[in-house]
Amino acid sequence: MKQDLYNTFLKNKQQGKKCFTVLIDPDGINSNKIDSLITLSIEAKVDYFFVGGSLVISNYLDDCIKQLKKYSNIPVILFPGSPSQVSKYADAILYLSLISGRNPELLIGQHVLSAPFVKNSGLEIIPTGYMVIDGGAPTTVSYISNATPIPSDKNDIAMCTAMAGEMLGMKLIYMDAGSGAKRPITEEMIEKVAQNVAAPIIIGGGIINPEKAYRNCKAGADVIVVGNAIEKDPFLIKDIADAVHSVPVNA
């Protein structure tokens, strides 16, 4: 039966419970490494797995998701860089529109081409306003998207973009400095956006330690996503999960 994962995002936000997501790039992992990542994620009480990336080259997507589903109950949500990354084995899909950019293909074009396919996938579809923020150097997402990221100090642009996205019906706002970003998103920008939208806010890109994850949550992030740093050091999963889950509910 289709889960209602979106409601878990909403409920957690209403309760002030901050969530931690491990991002898995199918190109960056293999079936041996994934077992220990699953074990560490279960122990750390990770809230969600996101699977995908701006550029996925390998054929490991389906098998990767099957393995995650077989060995854990942690929900698996697709974070697709393109319609080729839709897998029926996941629980839900972040249906991303790149609202920070002006590339019509990523705002609506690819959605039109893949609409029947996505609808028939059986996945829970979560409309998500995706905002790429400048992370101090070109990242895969900033290059592949062919769209200018929001400058890292333009908090008002981020705020207005998120507000517009929410009014257009986006149910989640995902602010991303890009995988491996040199500079993660500032707390000031997160705070500005959080004060002006009601939708749950996902923050990712360049977060490499529990302190930054904690500060982001205090600033208003509802969900923290980490991929790159965990690929390098899987034991960070527990440290960052503990930090995120330790944020007081009234933060």
Q: Is residue 225 within the footprint of ligand 1GP (CB under 6 A)?
A: yes
Work out which of 204, 214, 217, 221 binds ligand 1GP, going by CB under 6 A. Answer: 204
> Which residue stretch of 10-18, 98-106, 198-206, 209-217 sits at the interface with ligand 1GP (rule: CB under 6 A)?
198-206
The C-alpha atoms of residue 97 and residue 69 are separated, in whole angstroms, by: 26
Q: Is residue 81 within the footprint of ligand 1GP (CB under 6 A)?
A: no
Alpha helices in 16-154 (DSSP H): 31-43, 61-71, 104, 110-119, 140-144
Q: Is residue 23 within the footprint of ligand 1GP (CB under 6 A)?
A: yes
Q: Is residue 207 within the footprint of ligand 1GP (CB under 6 A)?
A: yes
Residue 166 or 176: which CB sits closer to ligand 1GP?
A: 176
CA trace torsion 79, 235, 219, 8 (10° rounding): 50
CB of 116 to ligand 1GP, least distance (A): 27
> Which residue stretch of 93-101, 148-156, 160-168, 200-208 sits at the interface with ligand 1GP (rule: CB under 6 A)?
200-208
Residue-wise DSSP of 120-177? TT--EEEEEEEEEB--SS--HHHHHTTSPPBPTT-HHHHHHHHHHHHHTT-SEEEEE-
Residue 50 or 60: which CB sits closer to ligand 1GP?
A: 50
Pair 160, 189: CB distance under 8 Å: no
> Which residue stretch of 84-92, 102-110, 150-158, 224-232 sits at the interface with ligand 1GP (rule: CB under 6 A)?
224-232
**CB-side neighbour CA atoms (13 Å) of 125:** 16
How close are the terminal C-alpha atoms of the chain, in Å? 34
CB of 120 to ligand 1GP, least distance (A): 27
Residue 25 or 91: which CB sits closer to ligand 1GP?
A: 25
CB of 167 to ligand 1GP, least distance (A): 24
- Amino acid, res. 206: G
The C-alpha atoms of residue 170 and residue 95 are separated, in whole angstroms, by: 9
Residue 52 or 75: which CB sits closer to ligand 1GP?
A: 52
Alpha carbon distances (Å) from 5 to 11, 98, 168: 10, 21, 21
Q: Is residue 181 within the footprint of ligand 1GP (CB under 6 A)?
A: yes
Alpha carbon distances (Å) from 209 to 28, 78, 87: 20, 24, 31
Q: Is residue 150 within the footprint of ligand 1GP (CB under 6 A)?
A: no
CB of 195 to ligand 1GP, least distance (A): 22
Binding site for ligand 1GP (CB under 6 A): 23, 176, 178-181, 204-207, 225-229
